Amino acid sequence: QLQLQESGPGLVKPSETLSLTCIVSGGSISSSSYYWGWIRQPPGKGLEWIGNIYYSGVTYYNPSLKSRVTISLDTSKNQFSLILSSVTAADTAVYYCGRHPGGLNYYHFMDVWGEGTTVTVSS
């Protein structure tokens, strides 16, 4: 059974860089049938897609965050990562990693989600 677990610091200072990792078990991130992505949810608010990555390294990012986001794969550890630079209080959220069924140049909804990790941006 596929499981995803987010890890990373729960507190980040304004203007600094947020870095999260998603550890995948029960399946390989090198599969050509899936993308691996991040979605966030500010406290009491709705869901915002951040971006995702294919096993080949192809990435898609939300244009609203694109200038600050990098998603990468580490196939040796079967994990993928999110880097969000120059954070502000508006980046405070629960960050979820997950899997999107897909293929070359297309992906679908996130069908498997991690439990989420809370990140607070505050000095």
Partner 1 sequence: DIVMTQSPDSLAVSLGERATINCKSSQNVFYSSNNKNYLAWYQQKAGQPPKVLIYWASTRESGVPDRFSGSGSGTDFTLTISSLQAEDVAVYYCHQYYSTPITFGQGTRLEIK
Q: Which residues lie near partner 1 (CB under 8 A)?
A: 46-49, 60, 62-64, 96, 98, 100, 107-111, 113-116
How far, in Å, CA of 50 to CA of 97, rounded? 10
- Exposed/middle/buried for 104, CB within 10 Å: 0-12, 13-18, 19+? exposed
Least distance to partner 1 from the beta carbon of 70, Å? Answer: 16
Between 72 and 118, CB nearer to partner 1 = 118
Q: Using alpha carbons only, give the angle 115, 83, 94 rounded to the nearest 5 degrees.
A: 30
- 10 CB-near residues (< 8 Å, 6+ apart): 117, 118, 119, 120
Between 77 and 108, CB nearer to partner 1 = 108
Least distance to partner 1 from the beta carbon of 16, Å? Answer: 25
Between 67 and 123, CB nearer to partner 1 = 67
Least distance to partner 1 from the beta carbon of 119, Å? Answer: 15
